[in-house]
Structure 1
Amino acid sequence: MRRKQHITIKLAAIFLCLSLWISLPVKAAAIDEQTRKILQDSLSIVEIDQEIERIGLKQTETQHKQQELQTQLSIQREQIQSHQERAGAVLRSYYMGDRDQLLSILLGAKNLGQALTLIDYYQIIISRDKDILTAYQQRYTSITELERQTAIAAAELQDMKSKLITQRTRVAALQEQVDQQVNGSSDSETLKRLIEEMTSYWENIGLYEVRRHFKALAAAMEGLPQFIQGQKGAIVTNGKKYTITIQQDEFNRFLQSRDEMFKQFGFTFEQDGITVQGKSGTMELLIKGHYTLENIPKNAIVFHVDRLVFNGLELPDTTRSNLEQQFDLGFYPQMLLPYVKATGVETLPRQLKVQLELNL
């Protein structure tokens, strides 16, 4: 297991790091392929280490949740025992005909006053029987739900344990590979310094900038329904079916109107995919992704990040997945038209099309 580097950098050191990083190549494309690969693997190690930490924290939370559910389940099982016995007694009384005898007594009343009194008693007994059966049903439903939640927590915990093992194995293999390449380099000290500066730049500035851009994009997407409504001819209807067409140039203008930073970044709609590319200061970012139609947990057009390249270095799947979870870049058709659902999505050269139909 790699011993993760914890680098404490003051403001002056950050500027020094930046100047060193810029004096060394800012773009990985400007260095030889072997060095670029070493830097990329080193960056992956940093990010996978972060994923291991996130999984570990989530694992601890899930363990506590599972323990709490188990405690609640034990309490519910004890409480349901008494409810079960009382409910059983009520059901046996109906099965054995005890309540029929009460009804017979009621029908055999000698006068109206006695009949009314017996009716009151009968209603009290029936009402009490109903309360007992209802209480048992509620307890039974509650314990069934707790058992379901406990099983889900147990499955999640097992899944996280498997992911933890996978990522630890992965980071160990990468670390061994990087160590071998660095030790075999003709100038290992310079390479080590380059790795340290690249790591510092990413942890202190790069990751912040990437998240800032994803956050701005997620915020902009919230205004997409209003943008579409304002575009003449963007929505075409054919009976119960609708087609939304978003033009690449109009979409870029929309983003630029939402945030100044998108003046340095452009979206390109391609066949079956989208490319986002741009430069901000010393950072160059390339995102490749695609949209899919999903119905769980709700009907939506969801964006998936297929590639994420920072200053020429491709970030691992763990980073892409984490950014997808943190920032929602999806599109929800029902925010545009309440009574429709998306049935398809496709990207074409310079166009994004979404198919909808009435969902009454």
Structure 2
Amino acid sequence: MRLNKQYKHLFITLSLLFIITIPVKTSAAPLTDEELKILNDSLSIIEIDREVSRIENRQKETQQSVSQLSEQLGYKNEQIKTSRDAAGKRLAAYYMGERETLLGALLSANSLHDFFTILDYYQIIAERDHYVLDTYQNEYASLKQTKDKLEKMTSDLETIKDNLLKQRERVAALQQSVDGSLSSSVDPEKLQAMIEEMTLYWENVGLYEVRRYFRALAAAMSDFPDFMQEHESSLTSDKNGYTIVVQESDLNDFLHSKNELLTNMSFQFDEGIITAQGSREGINLKVEGHYTVENEPQNCIVFHVDRLLFNGLDLPDTTRKELETDFDLGFYPKKIVPFVEATEATIHKGTLIIKLKIAL
């Protein structure tokens, strides 16, 4: 019998819960500092390894693009050589007097019929001249654009290679640390079993669930204009523009109403930081972050993940950045009031305050 994706995932989850005893999740005895560090390093190895694979794929794609652009550049060089030669002949004709001779013939026509005949001929030549010169100009612009794009992609490729090297070095250092801890441990078999169990659980359940939470949060935050309609008093005007005051309790109620998955998460505003924390079916998730106002590519209030804990284990920066990229947890003031832009977003105990200015 074939299982669809949803039931297959449920089957894997239930199977793992029955056959795996995850120390981070189910052990009655608390983890020692050594065990926690080893599990944390092991989880970082898994995630940074995944980032290495992503970078390697991007490197291959960029290398292919660079090769294609190099071929295009060679082809455009041939095109522009032909256009340049033709344009040169046209310009030489002007400077050597051929066009003046034709213009003289036009002015010395003996009859109106001859005048219009020569005029038509002159206009055909002039249009052809413009076409040749415009073609050269357009192909030159295209050549320059291709060169600039190639230079940028070549630079990006070098950056990708440097990043790949750094991530591989991080993995190697973490692996060395884990190997050293295992070799010096009084019970290396137990630690190795914990690592394997945690790895299996994370790869089959944990990563899926973390992304599932972020997907639900992103979908809810995309409906932030609905929140403002429900809490019109949150928006007030002053001499400098407008101010939005979001109360912690109001945002919690709004997010809980948007998705059942979020009902077990609580959001807390403290000085300069937002914390979202919740538990469900043995999974504990904690997200800490802050907001900044960004103007490119458009004015928006962007959420940055500063810390992400899964069952007490810190996920590395590579995972945080990936989630930031894949799931937009920010919001866009112009969707609330079309003629305003955000200038400031500050978090205080229990409140998020957003300053807006009029931008016509």
Q: How does 1:18-29 map to 2 (within 5 A)?
A: 18-19=17-18, 21-22=20-21, 24-26=23-25
For each residue in 1:323-353, what CA deviation from the matched residue of structure 2 results, as whole angstroms up to 9, or x when unmatched?
1111111211222222222222111111112
For each residue in 1:41-96, what CA deviation from the matched residue of structure 2 results, as whole angstroms up to 9, or x when unmatched?
01101111101111001111111111111111111111111111111222222333
For each residue in 1:147-203, what CA deviation from the matched residue of structure 2 results, as whole angstroms up to 9, or x when unmatched?
111112111111110011101111111101101101111111111101111111111
Task: Name 1:357's counterpart in structure 2.
Answer: 357
For each residue in 1:10-49, what CA deviation from the matched residue of structure 2 results, as whole angstroms up to 9, or x when unmatched?
9988656434654634179921111101110011011111
Letter in 2 for 1:83: S
CA distance in structure 2 between the aligned counterparts of 1:170 and 1:142, rounded to whole angstroms = 42
Asked whether the equivalents of residues 55 and 160 of structure 2 are also in contact (C-alpha less than 8 Å), the reply is: yes
CA distance in structure 1 between the aligned counterparts of 2:110 and 2:10, rounded to whole angstroms = 98
Q: How does 1:341-352 map to 2 (within 5 A)?
A: 341-352=341-352
**Residue 229 to residue 87, structure 1, CA distance change in 2 (3 Å):** farther
**Residue 23 to residue 90, structure 1, CA distance change in 2 (3 Å):** closer
CA distance in structure 2 between the aligned counterparts of 1:108 and 1:240, rounded to whole angstroms = 72
Asked whether the equivalents of residues 292 and 301 of structure 1 are also in contact (C-alpha less than 8 Å), the reply is: yes
Task: Name 1:140's counterpart in structure 2.
Answer: 140
Which has the larger displacement, 48-57 or 331-340?
Answer: 331-340
- Is the aligned partner of 1:292 residue 2:283? no
User: Which runs of 5 or more residues in structure 2 are unaligned?
Assistant: 1-7
CA distance in structure 2 between the aligned counterparts of 1:143 and 1:66, rounded to whole angstroms = 15
* SS of alignment partner, residue 325 of structure 2: helix
Asked whether the equivalents of residues 24 and 311 of structure 2 are also in contact (C-alpha less than 8 Å), the reply is: no
- Is the aligned partner of 1:222 residue 2:196? no
* SS of alignment partner, residue 232 of structure 2: coil
Letter in 2 for 1:244: I
**Residue 16 to residue 116, structure 1, CA distance change in 2 (3 Å):** closer
CA distance in structure 1 between the aligned counterparts of 2:238 and 2:95, rounded to whole angstroms = 61
Task: Name 2:47's counterpart in structure 1.
Answer: 47
User: Which runs of 5 or more residues in structure 1 are unaligned?
Assistant: 1-8
CA distance in structure 2 between the aligned counterparts of 1:46 and 1:172, rounded to whole angstroms = 12
Q: How does 1:271-290 map to 2 (within 5 A)?
A: 271-290=271-290
- Is the aligned partner of 1:237 residue 2:213? no
CA distance in structure 2 between the aligned counterparts of 1:27 and 1:269, rounded to whole angstroms = 30
Counting matched residue pairs gives: 352
Q: CA deviation at 1:239?
A: 5.1
CA distance in structure 2 between the aligned counterparts of 1:173 and 1:254, rounded to whole angstroms = 44
**Residue 263 to residue 141, structure 1, CA distance change in 2 (3 Å):** same
CA distance in structure 2 between the aligned counterparts of 1:92 and 1:236, rounded to whole angstroms = 69
CA distance in structure 1 between the aligned counterparts of 2:32 and 2:17, rounded to whole angstroms = 21
Q: How does 1:170-209 map to 2 (within 5 A)?
A: 170-209=170-209
Asked whether the equivalents of residues 21 and 197 of structure 2 are also in contact (C-alpha less than 8 Å), the reply is: no
Q: How does 1:74-113 map to 2 (within 5 A)?
A: 74-113=74-113
Which has the larger displacement, 206-215 or 113-122?
Answer: 113-122
Task: Name 1:335's counterpart in structure 2.
Answer: 335
CA distance in structure 2 between the aligned counterparts of 1:160 and 1:172, rounded to whole angstroms = 18
**Residue 27 to residue 142, structure 1, CA distance change in 2 (3 Å):** farther
Asked whether the equivalents of residues 24 and 312 of structure 2 are also in contact (C-alpha less than 8 Å), the reply is: no
- Aligned CA RMSD, in angstroms, stands at 2.0
Letter in 1 for 2:256: Q
CA distance in structure 2 between the aligned counterparts of 1:352 and 1:12, rounded to whole angstroms = 41
Task: Name 1:56's counterpart in structure 2.
Answer: 56
Letter in 2 for 1:355: K
Task: Name 1:3's counterpart in structure 2.
Answer: none
**Residue 180 to residue 291, structure 1, CA distance change in 2 (3 Å):** same
**Residue 27 to residue 95, structure 1, CA distance change in 2 (3 Å):** farther
* SS of alignment partner, residue 180 of structure 1: helix
> Percent same amino acid at aligned positions?
44
Q: CA deviation at 1:297?
A: 1.9
Task: Name 1:256's counterpart in structure 2.
Answer: 256
Task: Name 1:6's counterpart in structure 2.
Answer: none
CA distance in structure 2 between the aligned counterparts of 1:327 and 1:285, rounded to whole angstroms = 16
* SS of alignment partner, residue 331 of structure 1: coil
* SS of alignment partner, residue 26 of structure 1: helix
